[in-house]
Structure 1
Amino acid sequence: MRIETLNLKNFKVFKDARIGSIPAFCVVVGANGTGKSTLFDTFGFLKDCLTYNVSVALQKRGGFSQVVTRGAGDDADIVIELQYRMEIEGYERLVTYRLEIGQEKNKPVVNRELLRYKRSSYGSPFNFLNFSKGKGYAINNEEDFKASDKELTREQQSLDGTDILAIKGLGQFQRFKAANAFRQMIENWHVSDFHIDAARGSKDVTGYAEHLSQRGDNLQLIANSLYENDRKTFERILQAMKERVPGIGDITPESTSDGRLLLKFRDGAFQDPFIDRYVSDGTIKMFAYLVLLYDPKPHPLLCIEEPENQLYPQLMTELAEEFRGYSNRGGQVFVSTHSPDFLNAAKLEEVFWLVKQDGYTEIRRAADDPQLQAYMEDGGQMGWLWKHGFFPGADPR
């Protein structure tokens, strides 16, 4: 499943913004304060709404008043709508999910939640899930969707509250196929909040973790699991490290006498390995990214903010290649960056930029700009063009 379109209304700086024709590898640039983190937080917000509920997701961000766009009005709804492609009963369909969140008596309310797609190549999309304020219906015989002459069965449902997503409850059941697939997709999104300090040092050897955490604080545990249970994947990661980071000879997880895990890095110039406490930030970060990108059960969506931090500029091309490789294997990757070197590795159709005007942000697609297209056809590079002010409205000055 790949997200193709995202529409935002009254979500922080995005009063009414749209990003369309989203590629599998999407690079976002913009000045500080234009909303790059907010754009990525759209995915984090939806995941929090699903994992907890809408009230908790809003509270984590300061409450409804801090999330709704300033000046939108007391009766304004926060609207998030995304379109993505998925296979349903042997057919690939463009599915639309729309969420409208408002307030009643100072409490968040899901005013509308829709999941829809077309039954055939013609006609209007059909609502397979339609809820408002905790009540609604879902279609439970979606296997009949391709036969337009068959009647679809609506199953009426009531949720436990008006701030709960219908896909949270109904998505647990296979008979609600679209809701089930969408729930699984959101649950497996990875919105990175990587911290070098959290990734360093010894960690408890006990515990279970299937994926690298958002903060990277279980890096040793994941590396050890791969080392012991999936040596082929671990060797692929190690080989990529050797190719990307000069001097790396070997990486091994090692248990300590007190039941802790360490990562040991061997430099080709030295006989004794270094524990990760003494390895550069860039080396740790690159290893963590590779562990994430070569996950045996990859995430359908990755959001990575400013991967260039702590990394040498010369590594930007290689890192962009790794992200693009992940997207070519079926995942989708969103990356925000301030690095011209990283941007130089991006293609015209992969780049979007944010422009903030009168307090609100709009999203522009590089491929839609004739001047940028002409420069790229003449052999230009995106990073050079961005650095020298050829992205209209992007320069904060």
Structure 2
Amino acid sequence: MQIESLRLKNYKSFRDATLLDIPNLCVVVGANGTGKSTLFGVFGFLKDCLLFNIRRALQQRGGFKEVISRGADPAEGVEIEIKFRLEIAGVDRLVTYLLHLGEHKGQPIVLHEVLRYKRGRYGSPFHFLDFRRGVGYAITNEEDFNRPDEELDREDQKVGADTLAISGLGQFERFKAANAFRRLIENWHVSDFHISAARGSKDAIGAADHLSVTGDNLQLVARNIYENHPEVFERIVQRMHDRVPGITQVTPKPTEDGRLLLQFRDGAFVDPFIDRYVSDGTLKMFAYLVLLHDPQPHPLLCVEEPENQLYPALLWELAEEFRDYAQRGGQVMVSTHSPDFLNASNLEEVFWLVKRNGYTRILRAQDDPQIRAYMAAGDQMGYLWKQGLFEGVDPA
């Protein structure tokens, strides 16, 4: 399952913008304040809407008035549309999810929620889930492609006006596309990694299946991989050895008081260092490798500015790690200010954001003839960015 496009209308600085033909590895660049964090924040917003409701998701972001674009008519509401590829009944289909949010008597509500795709090669996409203001229907036998549209079984439902229909219906396998999209949202990961949260000993009991958003369970996840997937952990340690001089071994170590810490062994010394005393860059690289070698990779991984605390030469290798992760089936979106990371990016992977009159536009590197020509001649993306050849983006 891969996201192919994202359309935003009246969402913060994105008055009307579309990210098209999203590749497996998508690299986003832009000056400060152009909306990179806002773009990635859309995925966190949708996840909060699913796990809780839109009221809580909006409250965490300052309320509806802070989410809707400044200057937009509140009656227009906020629209988020995602198109993704999903195999249904043996056919790869383009599925569209549309979420239209608004207010009624000062309360946030779901104005319209739709999940649709084409049943056949021709004709318009069919709505398999369609709700307005908490009332609507879902198709229960959507994979019965031998029956005409009008004979499909509809199940009428009611949900809270501030609740996503896919939140409840997506739990049931009979709603094929809704179930798949819910699992996609539940399992995508928007990283907000903090060195301070990842460092130090941790309680040995806690979530260990996946690295948390902040990385505060790094020790637990490392131990889980170390004990249950030793071949994966060995690969992580080997990658660390190749990228960080001197590191020959990493071991999750239980303490006498029932906690857990990481020990890093430097080949030049007999005694290992605990993670409290290793450099920020070493700990961050290890955390990224744990995230990127997860035995159950996230379907979507969003990482902001991975270059922080890392030596520039490592960014080429980190970009390859991201690309390898994407090729294994986990789509990756990365924002960056680093020319070195851009130099490791391919033409079709790079997009950039430009703000005009307070609103953000999304541009694609391969659509710019000048950038395309320079890249064909052997130039590197980071060099072109530093030279100001990205329209509206000048890091100088």
Please report the TM-score for the alignment, with normalisation by the length of structure 1.
0.98
2:121 corresponds to which residue?
121
Q: Deviations over 1:271-308 (max 9, x none)?
A: 11000000000011110111011001110000000000
1:130 corresponds to which residue?
130
In structure 1, distance between residues paired with 2:395 and 2:136: 46
1:60 corresponds to which residue?
60
In structure 2, distance between residues paired with 1:222 and 1:188: 16
1:244 Cα deviation after fit: 1.6
1:243 Cα deviation after fit: 1.3
1:236 Cα deviation after fit: 1.1
3-state SS of paired residue (2:37): helix
1:148 Cα deviation after fit: 4.2
In structure 2, distance between residues paired with 1:328 and 1:202: 34
Equivalenced residue count is: 396
1:228 corresponds to which residue?
227
In structure 1, distance between residues paired with 2:385 and 2:391: 9
2:261 corresponds to which residue?
262
1:208 Cα deviation after fit: 3.5
In structure 1, distance between residues paired with 2:27 and 2:199: 28
1:53 Cα deviation after fit: 0.4
- The one-letter code of the counterpart of 1:302 is L
3-state SS of paired residue (1:312): coil
Contact 1:24/1:333, CA 8 A, preserved across alignment = yes
1:206 Cα deviation after fit: 1.7
Contact 1:233/1:296, CA 8 A, preserved across alignment = yes
Q: Deviations over 1:18-64 (max 9, x none)?
A: 11011000000000000000000011100000010001110111100
In structure 2, distance between residues paired with 1:113 and 1:208: 32
Contact 1:10/1:77, CA 8 A, preserved across alignment = yes
In structure 2, distance between residues paired with 1:299 and 1:344: 26
In structure 2, distance between residues paired with 1:223 and 1:333: 21
Determine whether 1:34 maps to 2:27. Answer: no
1:111 Cα deviation after fit: 0.2
1:173 corresponds to which residue?
172
1:147 Cα deviation after fit: 4.8
- The one-letter code of the counterpart of 1:129 is L
Determine whether 1:48 maps to 2:14. Answer: no
1:279 corresponds to which residue?
278
1:76 Cα deviation after fit: 2.4
C-alpha RMSD over aligned residues: 1.1
Q: Deviations over 1:82-103 (max 9, x none)?
A: 1000011111100000000000
Q: Are the structure 2 counterparts of residues 25 and 275 from structure 1 closer, same or farther at C-alpha, using a change threshold of 3 Å? A: same
Identity %: 68
Runs of 4+ in 1 over 6 A off after TM superposition: none
> What residue ranges of structure 1 are gaps of 5+ in the alignment?
none
In structure 2, distance between residues paired with 1:35 and 1:249: 40
In structure 2, distance between residues paired with 1:50 and 1:113: 12
1:220 Cα deviation after fit: 0.2
In structure 1, distance between residues paired with 2:224 and 2:332: 24
- The one-letter code of the counterpart of 1:249 is T
In structure 2, distance between residues paired with 1:150 and 1:39: 38
Determine whether 1:290 maps to 2:289. Answer: yes
In structure 2, distance between residues paired with 1:145 and 1:288: 45
Q: Superposition pairs for residues 122-271 of structure 1, below 5 Å? A: 122-145=122-145, 147-148=147-148, 151-159=151-159, 161-271=160-270
- The one-letter code of the counterpart of 2:343 is N
Q: Deviations over 1:180-199 (max 9, x none)?
A: 11101100000001000000
Determine whether 1:374 maps to 2:340. Answer: no
1:318 corresponds to which residue?
317
Moved more, 241-250 or 142-151: 142-151
3-state SS of paired residue (1:75): helix
In structure 2, distance between residues paired with 1:149 and 1:117: 12
1:73 Cα deviation after fit: 1.7
Contact 2:134/2:161, CA 8 A, preserved across alignment = yes
Please report the TM-score for the alignment, with normalisation by the length of structure 2.
0.98
3-state SS of paired residue (1:143): coil
- The one-letter code of the counterpart of 2:37 is S
